[in-house]
Structure 1
Amino acid sequence: MSIDLAVIGGSGLYNFPGLENARRQSVDTPFGPASGDVVTGDFAGKRLAFLARHGESHSLPPHRVNYRANLWALHQLGARRVVGVNAVGGIRDDMGPRVIVVPDQIIDYTHGRFTSFCDVEGAEVKHIDFSEPYTASLRRDLLAAAARAGVPAIDGGCYGATQGPRLETRAEIARMKRDGCDLVGMTGMPEAALARELELEYACLALVANFAAGCGDEEEISIEEIFAHLAAATAEVPKILGAMLAG
């Protein structure tokens, strides 16, 4: 099966709007079950595969997502280009609620996750080059597509991946800011590294749902406001991906 693009949906994106001739597939993997069925169909004249990272009912917290199974399933179905859609908090001043960012770097603060396909007994050990964690050509295509679709998107930024599911303290965000992080999220790793191990093209569409703790003017982070901002940003995703697939 030929898949032109695979999309991994994060919080707020549990199905892909506008997908035609949709077909659900359960994919067996050597790493256990994926987050759910992979839904394939036609979008913007191309074949698209969609997988909800947290499950379609948001039943999987970030640290319990089977990232290895998810990437393996998409790869097994023939995907070669993968866009991860991630809900994030903004640290940098210009990355406030409803802003869309295509980051170019990542710092991993997670722990206790299966971070490599090499963790399996007898597997070949691969030392991947991860100096540029996102595929440059796919990043460029996303940014160009956003411009054609009339959707503002920021080029570049460092994504700090935290463990979750709790939000971070002000001190943790202050440390991340000193480290050079512009965004904070809970699902960026090990997804990006696993995609690289499988030699997949991979890029991230980061949707800012809120300012991180101690950033912006917000004294408290309201979950209701987070999901309202996230819904607004999520509505722009099909426009960007449609423009990219249409070429």
Structure 2
Amino acid sequence: MTKAILGVIGGSGVYDLPGLEDVRELDLTSPWGTPSAKPKQGRIGATTIVFLPRHGAGHRLSPSDIDYHANIDVLKRAGVTDLVSLSACGSYREELPPGTFVLADQFIDRTFRRQPTFFGPGCVAHVAFSDPVAPNLVARLARAAAAESVPHVVGGSYVCMEGPQFSTRAESTTYKAMGASIVGMTNMPEAKLAREAEISYATVGMVTDYDAWRPHEAGVDVADVIAVMRDNGDKARRLVARLAADFPAEHEPCPVGSDRALDFAIITAPEHRDAALLAKLDAVAGRVLGR
């Protein structure tokens, strides 16, 4: 069995994790680029946690400027087996008001500036992604949210837009009509890369606003968003602490195979694989490449 190491990516409003003990900064480098920050490793109870603020110190990185490849790569190098993504988002539904946490189970990727894979010419891979989140991790998050009396909903589709601007009314009403639940700017390609790295992934969409689909409102008010974001950040820290307190010592095999995603994914014949790309994949795909 593999030791469980819980990774936490902090989104807007979550730049640290108070309560971590024995904290040390991990000096990890990535062949893919520069991560948002140096990950911090600590523990809550017996659970080892690796924390990374997605937007960097002082929120210096916009969603399009985050090096998602480097972030996932260094978390993999740190031994992370299960990854929780804390993400501010807008709501497409009246029943999902600001302050609600949505444990999304599907994604609609509308980004266009971001490379969505670790693989490419010289090593082509196709991973299964029909079920993009890890059910066991979602179930544990739901139990932790209930225990902490955090308003939450299990399930829903997350639209990932490019940003950094908020939605037009046409965009907002279109995705609402499609049946999506929430909209954000950061879970793609993060979730795809986590799957390629064989890390079990779950997202916590922390609702800050109703986006722009309500005709009687002016749209997203940034001042209101920031106020809600602070409260959501406090709830997120409680959620993570409760999750960690009850987390298993050993990684639970994922029912949808997120932790074995590369078993049959690499298509390129060994004699045609690019050596330079294989070297960059040492952490992400080392299990199947024998590195």
TM band (smaller chain): over 0.9
CA distance in 2 between counterparts of 1:136 and 1:56 reads: 31
> Secondary structure in 1 aligned to 2:119?
helix
Superposed displacement of residue 238, structure 1? 2.1
Superposed displacement of residue 3, structure 1? 6.0
The answer to whether the 8 A contact 1:211-1:218 is kept is no
Unaligned runs of 5+ in 2: 247-291
Determine the structure 2 residue equivalent to 1:8. Answer: 9
Determine the structure 1 residue equivalent to 2:101. Answer: 100
Superposed displacement of residue 210, structure 1? 0.8
Scaled by the length of structure 1, the TM-score of the pair is 0.94
Determine the structure 1 residue equivalent to 2:23. Answer: 22
Superposed displacement of residue 86, structure 1? 0.4
Superposed displacement of residue 30, structure 1? 1.3
Unaligned runs of 5+ in 1: none
Deviates more, 1:210-219 or 1:10-19: 210-219
Deviations 1:100-153 (A, max 9, x none): 11011110000020110003x53x322111111111111111101111222221
Whether 1:65 aligns to 2:50 is: no
The answer to whether the 8 A contact 2:27-2:38 is kept is yes
The letter of the residue matching 1:5 is: L
The letter of the residue matching 1:129 is: A
Deviations 1:224-244 (A, max 9, x none): 110111111111112222222
> Secondary structure in 1 aligned to 2:29?
coil
- Do the aligned partners of residues 220 and 176 (structure 1) sit closer, same or farther apart at CA in structure 2, a change above 3 Å counting? closer
Whether 1:41 aligns to 2:45 is: no
CA distance in 2 between counterparts of 1:137 and 1:220 reads: 36
Superposed displacement of residue 214, structure 1? 2.1
Whether 1:198 aligns to 2:197 is: yes
CA distance in 2 between counterparts of 1:60 and 1:215 reads: 29
CA distance in 1 between counterparts of 2:45 and 2:57 reads: 23
Whether 1:222 aligns to 2:221 is: yes
Deviates more, 1:146-155 or 1:89-98: 146-155
Superposed displacement of residue 73, structure 1? 0.3
Alignment of 1:78-89 (within 5 A): 78-89=79-90
CA distance in 1 between counterparts of 2:169 and 2:97 reads: 16
Determine the structure 1 residue equivalent to 2:92. Answer: 91
Superposed displacement of residue 217, structure 1? 5.3
Identical pairs, percent:
36
> Secondary structure in 2 aligned to 1:21?
strand
Tell me how many residue pairs correspond in the alignment: 245
The letter of the residue matching 1:19 is: L
Whether 1:156 aligns to 2:180 is: no
> Secondary structure in 2 aligned to 1:175?
helix
- Do the aligned partners of residues 217 and 22 (structure 1) sit closer, same or farther apart at CA in structure 2, a change above 3 Å counting? farther
The letter of the residue matching 2:189 is: P
Deviates more, 1:203-212 or 1:174-183: 174-183
> Secondary structure in 2 aligned to 1:111?
coil
Superposed displacement of residue 45, structure 1? 3.1
Determine the structure 2 residue equivalent to 1:144. Answer: 143
CA distance in 2 between counterparts of 1:195 and 1:217 reads: 39
Deviates more, 1:235-244 or 1:110-119: 235-244
Deviates more, 1:93-102 or 1:77-86: 93-102
The answer to whether the 8 A contact 2:89-2:182 is kept is yes
> Secondary structure in 2 aligned to 1:236?
helix
Determine the structure 2 residue equivalent to 1:189. Answer: 188
CA distance in 1 between counterparts of 2:234 and 2:215 reads: 23
Q: RMSD of aligned C-alpha atoms?
A: 1.6
The letter of the residue matching 2:11 is: G
> Secondary structure in 2 aligned to 1:48?
strand
Determine the structure 1 residue equivalent to 2:133. Answer: 134
> Secondary structure in 2 aligned to 1:42?
strand
The answer to whether the 8 A contact 1:34-1:70 is kept is yes
> Secondary structure in 2 aligned to 1:208?
strand
The answer to whether the 8 A contact 1:110-1:189 is kept is yes
Between structure 1 and structure 2, the one with the greater Rg is 2
CA distance in 1 between counterparts of 2:215 and 2:103 reads: 20
Determine the structure 1 residue equivalent to 2:57. Answer: 56
CA distance in 2 between counterparts of 1:10 and 1:216 reads: 28
The answer to whether the 8 A contact 1:118-1:125 is kept is yes
Deviates more, 1:163-172 or 1:208-217: 208-217
Determine the structure 1 residue equivalent to 2:240. Answer: 241
